[in-house]
Amino acid sequence: MNCIVGLDLGQQNDFTAISVLDVIPSKYTRQVPDIDSEIGVPLTRTMIVEAPPLSFHVTHLERLPIGTSYVRVVERVRQVMASLPGGTELVVDNTGVGRPVTDMILQQGLNPVCITITGGETVTRDGRNFHVPKRDIVSVLAVAFQNKQLKIAKSLPEAQTLVSELLNFKVKINLKTAHDSYAAWREGTHDDLILSVGLAAWAAHYIYTYQESAIALEDNYQI
């Protein structure tokens, strides 16, 4: 997996955001036992493993105007996916309005990873459908941003908007429950780009954490 698309679906007063990330894993050498196929003698082979920490290059950022029909959103997503290499994963916000839009995306022949964002503490999965705490999504992105593992092409029209969203985000701690939640510094600040990029980054991190290859989201994969 070299490329992944994040789609955050806006409701009536929100933008819909599309992002494209190039994912660059770290590479390690690992010694694995094997058997010489010719003489049957046990031996050790060296293999290259791709795993976290990951770096992300944001190569595309797009905000569709508020009020854009979901039919137009799906068509735009189809166009973006068609312009990218085969094997590119599409990760969609399946929260709220996302469910009917996901059905429309499936009708276009795409097979998205669907993420329902929750306020909980654990990730659950059913095939290509996930329930993921919002803090997990934002945390992956925040760590990458702080460690300079998130690169945003300055030429992108929405690059500065994404940087502003990242800087405006903070963690609010409920002192009574010790639970944390993520919210923008200012009421009314949009978080569509940060969630679009965060969805893609979280999915990439999941893939490389659990299987270290791009097939981790296949339906027959078992954790």
C-alpha to C-alpha distance for 116 and 98, rounded to whole angstroms: 8
Answer yes or no: is 46 within a domain.
Answer: no
Answer yes or no: is 119 within a domain.
Answer: yes
Nearest Cα residue to 54 out of 178, 186, 203 = 203
Lowest mean pLDDT among 74-83, 155-164, 212-221: 212-221
Segments forming the whole domain that contains residue 100: 3-24+56-210
14-57 per-position pLDDT tens digit: 889 999 999 998 888 888 788 877 787 888 888 887 878 899 99
Answer yes or no: is 83 within a domain.
Answer: yes
Answer yes or no: is 45 within a domain.
Answer: no
Answer yes or no: is 215 within a domain.
Answer: no
pLDDT for residue 13 = 76
pLDDT for residue 174 = 58
Instruction: Give the number of domains in the chain.
Output: 1
Answer yes or no: is 18 within a domain.
Answer: yes
Sign of CA dihedral 24, 122, 217, 128: negative
Answer yes or no: is 39 within a domain.
Answer: no
Answer yes or no: is 13 within a domain.
Answer: yes
